[in-house]
Amino acid sequence: MKTGLIASLAIATMLFAGCSGVKTPSVAVADHDTDHNIPAIDQMIVEMKQAYIQKCYLPVAKKHPPENACQSELFQMLERRYHLDYNQNHVAMASNDLFFKDIDVEIRKMMRTDPEVREALRNGAFTSSDEMIAYYKDKYKFDTQLEQY
């Protein structure tokens, strides 16, 4: 009985210690040269990333049980890749994959509907839609070099 209690406390302590070192990722408008400066896309990405961090990234990084589809999808990806032995760097890597799937869809939609985005493409800011998406994915990626505690 005493051993079971000690084991339970040890597990709880490990979970708490694993959660206490989670750093909230920062979100800011990226710096661009004048050719690649499209404020509408920056604003959309920053707003979506802030929401993603609060609704998906942080709860999963803190190892809370998934409460919505976004958290479930992120948790399942982490579980497939790292089992339950994942850390915040792993969450960031998986988030780069999942978050940018949604950004890809939104940028492609903006290319069809937003005059500012269409104008930037016409003026040669990017040679293709894929180049544009890769550019923004690089500018707004999650930091995967976080110090682990």
CA proximity to 20, closest of 61, 67, 80: 61
The set of residues, in sequence order, having a beta carbon less than 8 Å from that of 8 and lying 6+ positions away, is none
Residue carrying structure tokens 């070099």: 145
C-alpha 137/C-alpha 123 separation (Å) is 21
Could you tell me the CA-to-CA distances from 120 to 40, 45, 59, 114, 140 in Å, in that order? 11, 17, 37, 10, 19
The predicted pLDDT at position 129 comes to: 83
Q: Does 20 have pLDDT greater than 60?
A: no
pLDDT tens-digit profile of 22-61?
Answer: 889 888 899 888 878 889 999 999 999 999 999 999 999 9
Cα dihedral across residues 36, 117, 46, 101: positive or negative: negative
Is pTM beyond 0.85 here? no
End-to-end CA gap in the chain: 31
